[in-house]
């Protein structure tokens, strides 16, 4: 073979190798591009799935935390899988996921009811009353009422019954509603007693006037009629208080009068109305005003009623010994503060949070020496003050000092 043929052969081999290399490179490049495109698509889908999963978890968390009630999801063994924010607050922020209901709620009675519901595996609601429970919190709550709402969660068709069943438990605090019902029941008993007693006396005296020859004795007849009048006034007062509280609670307070009046005159009128009781009990009433004349805009009737109820309440609670009642009113920069204080036996601290509730009475049992009333007086006070945009609070150190403080913005500031 001559040199020229060898050279041509080598060139052909080289060209073939180069063409093969180019073809291989193009194939590898195409394959690499496909791999990168597939990887990009996979990564995008992965991000989409992660984003969707995060959104679903966020939505689930929002839904769970939208419940004001404690809500948990447990497995058949009572191990908590999910708990909303209300549950964490109830349990003082303790770690709940993966914990048992016993370690979560720290209350044997509640845990017992939840365990029985899970065991029965049927939707149910139970009302329970706990004499004392704190769920691990610092301050125990006495006589709290709860509703345990349980239901098994439906099994998804996707899982094909391969996952263990889950259970939903809602723990609803209905203590406020329970106490309201208690107060209403007590009011029915109090109101019926307050109505029945004077009605029985009036009925008995009427029988005497009709059946006996009492009419022939004018003095006896006048005495009986005076007693009947006294008890009829007592009934009228009870009905009047019920109508007042009904009006204030029904929203009619928006129709209250708004006229300027002198607070000094209102307090003087209240003291004059109570002067027979003040004299009989040898009570001492002192007043103080800063400035000396205080003008106020509002409904004078309800202001008089509110102050009357507070002062009368202090007198009624201290019938056995003379009480000193101090009434002060001071105004500064359009803010009016009225304080009614007494040095009587006071109000036990356990009752202070509830004394403004309608129908609430510190003394609940009827007796001959009991302070009579329906429990509407201080509720009327609170509603009347709030109807004027004010607030009222009470503090008490039994046997030392009890003070009712009223704060209200005065739209008719007084001049010094």
Q: What is the pLDDT of residues 326-351, one digit of tens each?
A: 999 999 888 999 999 999 888 888 88
Residue predicted with more confidence, 187 or 372: 187
Mean pLDDT confidence for 245-258: 69
Residues in the chain: 416
Rounded Cα distance, 175 and 145, in Å? 5
Residue predicted with more confidence, 47 or 126: 126
> What is the DSSP-derived secondary structure letter of residue 211?
H
pLDDT at 271: 93
How many Å is the maximal CA-CA distance in the chain?
171
pLDDT at 137: 56
pLDDT at 394: 93
pLDDT at 139: 53
pLDDT at 251: 63
Rounded Cα distance, 374 and 243, in Å? 13
263-273 helix and 300-316 helix, angle to the nearest 10 degrees: 40
* SS3 (DSSP) at 20: helix
Residue predicted with more confidence, 136 or 12: 12
Q: Answer whether residue 87 shows pLDDT above 90.
A: no
Domain extents in the chain = 67-173, 182-409
Confidence of residue 311 (pLDDT cuts 50, 70, 90): very high
Average per-residue pLDDT for the chain:
81
Mean pLDDT confidence for 304-325: 89
> What is the DSSP-derived secondary structure letter of residue 79?
B
pLDDT at 374: 62
Task: Provide the terminal-to-terminal Cα distance of the chain, rounded to the nearest Å.
Answer: 134
pLDDT at 5: 73
Rounded Cα distance, 251 and 253, in Å? 5
Q: Answer whether residue 135 shows pLDDT above 50.
A: yes
> Considering only 174-188, 249-263, 401-415, which range has the smallest mean pLDDT?
249-263
CB atoms within 10 A of CB 411: 14
Q: Which of 8-22, 55-69, 89-103 has the highest mean pLDDT?
A: 89-103
Residue predicted with more confidence, 173 or 1: 173
Q: Answer whether residue 320 shows pLDDT above 90.
A: no
Confidence of residue 306 (pLDDT cuts 50, 70, 90): very high
> What is the DSSP-derived secondary structure letter of residue 163?
S
CB within 8 Å of 100: residues ≥ 6 apart: 77, 78, 79, 80
Question: Any alpha helices (H) in 122-274, and if so which ranges?
Answer: 175-211, 218-249, 263-273
Q: 69, exposed or middle or buried, with CB in 10 Å at 0-12, 13-18, 19+?
A: middle
List the CATH code of the domain at 67-173.
Answer: 3.30.450.20
Question: Any alpha helices (H) in 293-357, and if so which ranges?
Answer: 300-316
By the 8 A CB rule, do 200 and 228 touch?
A: no
Mean pLDDT confidence for 261-284: 92
Confidence of residue 367 (pLDDT cuts 50, 70, 90): very low
Rounded Cα distance, 52 and 85, in Å? 23
pLDDT at 368: 39
pLDDT at 411: 67
Q: Which two tokens stand for residue 153?
A: 């969660």
Residue closest to 344 by CA, chosen among 384, 298, 310: 310
Confidence of residue 138 (pLDDT cuts 50, 70, 90): low
Q: Which two tokens stand for residue 94?
A: 């303790």
Mean pLDDT confidence for 168-182: 86
pLDDT at 393: 93
pLDDT at 158: 43
Residue closest to 225 by CA, chosen among 240, 208, 237: 208
Topology of the domain comprising 182-409: Heat Shock Protein 90 (3.30.565)
Confidence of residue 241 (pLDDT cuts 50, 70, 90): confident
Q: 182-409: same fold as 67-173?
A: no
Q: Which two tokens stand for residue 343?
A: 């040095």
Mean pLDDT confidence for 14-39: 79
> Considering only 123-132, 140-149, 381-390, which range has the smallest mean pLDDT?
140-149
Q: What percent of the chain has pLDDT over 70?
A: 85
Residue 215: which H helix or E strand, with range? none
Q: What is the pTM of this model?
A: 0.53
Rounded Cα distance, 208 and 221, in Å? 9
Mean pLDDT confidence for 90-99: 83
Q: Are strands 284-290 and 324-332 parallel, antiparallel or unpaired?
A: parallel
CA dihedral 112, 116, 121, 127 (to 10 degrees): -70
């Amino acid at each position: 073979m001559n040199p020229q043929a060898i050279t041509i052969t080598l060139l052909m081999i080289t060209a073939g190798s180069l063409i093969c290399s180019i073809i291989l490179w193009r194939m590898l490049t195409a394959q690499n591009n496909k791999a990168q495109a597939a990887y990009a698509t996979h990564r995008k889908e992965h991000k989409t799935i992660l984003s969707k999963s995060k959104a679903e978890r966020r939505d689930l968390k929002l839904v769970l935390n939208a419940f004001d009630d404690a809500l948990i999801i447990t497995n058949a063994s009572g191990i908590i899988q999910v708990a909303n924010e209300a549950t964490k607050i109830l349990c003082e922020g303790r770690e709940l996921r993966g914990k048992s209901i016993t370690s979560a709620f720290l209350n044997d009675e509640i845990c017992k009811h939840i365990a029985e519901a899970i065991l029965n595996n049927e939707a149910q609601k139970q009302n329970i009353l706990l004499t004392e429970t704190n769920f691990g919190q610092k301050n125990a709550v006495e006589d709290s009422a709860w509703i345990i709402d349980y239901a098994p969660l439906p099994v998804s068709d996707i899982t094909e019954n391969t996952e263990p069943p889950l259970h939903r438990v809602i723990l609803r605090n209905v203590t406020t509603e329970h106490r309201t019902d208690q107060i209403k029941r007590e009011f029915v008993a109090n109101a019926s007693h307050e109505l029945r007693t004077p009605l029985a006396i009036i009925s008995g005296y009427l029988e005497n006037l009709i059946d006996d020859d009492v009419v022939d004795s004018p003095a006896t007849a006048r005495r009986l009629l005076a007693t009947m009048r006294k008890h009829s006034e007592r009934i009228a007062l009870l009905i009047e208080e019920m109508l007042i509280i009904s009006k204030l609670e029904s929203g009619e307070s928006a129709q209250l009068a708004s006229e300027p009046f002198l607070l000094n005159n209102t307090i003087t009128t209240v003291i004059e109305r109570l002067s027979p009781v003040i004299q009989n009990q040898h009570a001492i009433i002192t007043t103080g005003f800063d400035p000396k004349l205080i003008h106020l805009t509002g409904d004078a009737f309800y202001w008089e009623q509110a102050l009357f109820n507070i002062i009368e309440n202090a007198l009624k609670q201290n019938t056995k010994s003379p009480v000193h009642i101090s009434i002060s009113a001071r105004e500064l920069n359009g803010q009016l503060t009225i304080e009614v204080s007494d040095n009587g036996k006071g109000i036990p601290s356990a009752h202070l949070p509830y004394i403004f509730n309608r129908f609430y009475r510190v003394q609940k049992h009827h007796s001959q020496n009991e302070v009579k009333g329906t429990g509407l007086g201080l509720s009327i006070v609170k509603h009347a003050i709030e109807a004027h945009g004010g607030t009222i609070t009470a503090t008490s150190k039994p046997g030392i000092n009890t003070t009712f403080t009223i704060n209200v913005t005065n739209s008719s500031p007084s001049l010094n």
